[in-house]
Amino acid sequence: METRVDRSELECLRFRCLDGCAYCCLCPPEVAGRELEHFRSARPEVLEEADGSPHIRLQGGAGGCALLRDRRCTDYGRRPFHCRAFPLRVHFLDRVQCCANLSCRGINREEGQPLAELLEAILRDGAVPDLAPAAAAARREWGNFVEKALRRGVPVELQGTRLLLNEEMERWPAGLEADRDEVADLVSETFGIAEAARLPVYVSPALEWQVFQVRQGTLRRFGLREDGGLVLSGEWPLRAVPLLEMTSEGRAGFVDYMQLLNRRDPMAGSAALVVRATRFEEEFEEAYLDILRDCALDLWWRASLLAFLNGAGALGAPEVREGVVFSDADFLDMSGIGGML
């Protein structure tokens, strides 16, 4: 029986791969089956074990995929399924939902292949695993979570929680104000990672790969080379980066994006993981709100950082859009129950 996939997020969106971008080549793709056989036979030097599974390694441990040369794939016709599926992500929870990775600069509304058509092509791909077993396993995991939560007196009313939060978001960023210490702690948790491969990557409008790192209260910006090398390009006191005011257009873009996050199932999976980790001491609604609020502050700070570095004094729609480009992939990759393809 065919597995139904919610594809509402893909409506009106198109994709055109940008020559010289190669953002999708900064993640080590997992390979299995016929793909693994091909690379073991033809390109064994590009393989490595990561988290117990074969992957295409990254150059220098943090740069472009080992198949990449001058930002072009050297085995494009046989590139792994995960590369062919980009910028789509299929998530499993109590349903199967397809999300678009808005960190990809090739996503737009005017030109290129409709993302819904790309999804259909992916689902017909012979390398795609059957979605049904993963969907069934995720539904069981979610169902078990809801059942245990109810036994502990923790209600899980996802749709009701989403509706309430959607109304609250209409007022954002009002009500999101945080003191400098709270923002600094949130930023340091994300950008204080020592390993370059785990730091968030921002692809600038000029298609430069940039990473930011916080060490001892100082924010450093690096250019990321294809070979994994880092080139320092600036540093600032972390607390010098303000949360900039939003124009009416910027605020509209901010609210639209946060309401999109509120519709995405990975957010619910992340909240469920938090509740389960606290042995159901934390309320689901509270965990869900905290996660979305942290995402909102994170997005606000990243958009403010990029605008601050570009000399802007406020966040208009273009500045918020750059914040989304910098943030969306990380939000999609948040840990949670369920599964991701």
Name all domains of the chain by residue range, CATH numbers in brackets: 8-128 (no CATH), 134-178+243-340 (1.10.20), 180-240 (no CATH)
Cβ proximity of 297 and 176 under 8 Å: yes
User: What is the percent of the chain with per-residue pLDDT over 90, rounded to a whole number?
Assistant: 82
* Strands 113-114, 107-108: pairing kind: unpaired
What is the tens place of the pLDDT at every residue in 321-330? Answer: 999 999 999 9
Q: Taking the chain, what is the end-to-end CA distance rounded to the nearest angstrom?
A: 19
Q: What local confidence, expressed as pLDDT, does residue 165 receive?
A: 94
What is the tens place of the pLDDT at every residue in 130-178? Answer: 788 989 999 999 999 999 999 999 999 999 999 999 999 999 988 887 7
Three-class SS of residue 200?
Answer: coil
What is the tens place of the pLDDT at every residue in 249-302? Answer: 999 999 999 999 999 999 999 999 999 999 999 999 999 999 999 999 999 999
Cβ proximity of 53 and 32 under 8 Å: yes
- Mutual angle of helices 265-277 and 317-332, in 10-degree steps: 50
Of 46-50, 125-129, 216-220, the poorest mean pLDDT is in 125-129
Average pLDDT over the chain reads 93
Cβ proximity of 219 and 191 under 8 Å: yes
Can you tell me the mean pLDDT for 19-41?
92
Above 50 in pLDDT, residue 1? Answer: no
What is the tens place of the pLDDT at every residue in 190-241? Answer: 999 989 889 999 999 999 999 999 999 999 999 999 999 999 999 999 999 9
Cβ proximity of 165 and 288 under 8 Å: yes
Task: Name the DSSP letter for residue 256.
Answer: H
Task: Name the DSSP letter for residue 67.
Answer: T
Cβ proximity of 23 and 17 under 8 Å: no
- Local confidence band at 126 (pLDDT 50, 70, 90 cut-offs): low
* Global pTM exceeds 0.85: yes
Q: Which tokens hold the place of 59?
A: 């150059």
Locus of tokens 């010098």: 240
